[in-house]
């Protein structure tokens, strides 16, 4: 059984889909949820499913490697960023080479980088008048939204769509594809622990 950790800062709709997807899987499961926000809904979702949940503060995350101990203790094989808004520090990137992915709610390299998250992305797509948008799933490196792509898919943006409408179309794609892509990547992992 491979162990997945989800890092999330927000409402956790993707985290919920991923948790539910793997609940009936006998090869992988979500073993840990990590958030940088004490009151993040995603922590309640984890508790609801009996999954270990953890909050990290800025100092612990960026200036120590304490989180690695926890990931090692839980035998984490793969990390999924699902709306996690902090940059991943080098000690974590190096400990999980091609074992950590992020989802971005646009067609990278467009609309990526620091500050480009959630509704900011959809507002920028609307302001540019783009006819399509989509999702990008990519490996994580030390820069925001720059790792190698794993998967992209598109959806149309209609002329009268509001940023909220665009968000809904993109979220539909995320919920549909993210769990499947995670399952595929986890099934292809080399045997043996990450760290």
Sites of contact with ligand GAR (CB under 6 A): 8, 10-15, 82-83, 103-105, 116-118, 121, 174
Among residues 185, 121, 175, 195, the alpha carbon closest in space to that of 147 is found at: 185
The nearer residue to ligand GAR, 40 or 183, going by C-beta atoms, is 40
Number of other residues whose CB lies within 10 A of the CB of residue 114: 10
- The active-site residue, picked from 49, 104, 120, 138, is 104
Nearest residue by C-beta to ligand GAR? 83
DSSP annotation of 52 reads E
The nearer residue to ligand GAR, 43 or 95, going by C-beta atoms, is 43
CB of 57 to ligand GAR, least distance (A): 20
The nearer residue to ligand GAR, 179 or 183, going by C-beta atoms, is 179
Burial pattern 118-142, b for ≥16 Cβ within 10 A else e, equals eeebbbbbbeeebeebbbbbbbbbe
CB of 191 to ligand GAR, least distance (A): 30
Among residues 26, 134, 68, 21, the alpha carbon closest in space to that of 34 is found at: 68
| Cβ atoms of residues 54 and 34 within 8 Å | yes
Based on the residue annotation, tell me whether 104 is a catalytic residue of this protein. yes
CB of 81 to ligand GAR, least distance (A): 7
Catalytic residues: 104
């Amino acid at each position: 059984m491979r162990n997945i950790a989800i890092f999330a800062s927000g409402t956790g709709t993707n985290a919920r889909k991923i948790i539910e997807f793997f609940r009936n899987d006998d090869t992988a499961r979500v073993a840990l949820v990590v958030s940088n926000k004490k009151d993040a809904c995603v922590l309640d979702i984890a508790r609801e499913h009996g999954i270990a949940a953890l909050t990290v503060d800025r100092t612990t995350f960026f200036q120590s490697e304490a989180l690695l101990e926890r990931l090692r203790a839980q035998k984490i094989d793969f990390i999924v960023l699902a709306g996690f808004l902090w940059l991943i520090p080098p000690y974590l990137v190096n400990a999980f080479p091609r074992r950590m992915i992020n989802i971005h709610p646009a067609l990278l390299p467009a609309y990526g980088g620091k500050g480009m998250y959630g509704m900011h992305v959809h507002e920028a797509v609307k302001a540019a008048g783009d006819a399509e948008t989509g999702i990008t799933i990519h490996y994580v490196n030390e820069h925001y939204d720059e790792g190698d792509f794993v998967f992209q898919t598109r959806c149309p943006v209609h002329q009268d769509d509001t940023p909220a409408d665009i968000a809904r179309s993109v979220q539909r794609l995320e919920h549909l594809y993210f769990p499947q892509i995670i399952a595929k990547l986890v099934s292809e992992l080399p045997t043996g622990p990450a760290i």
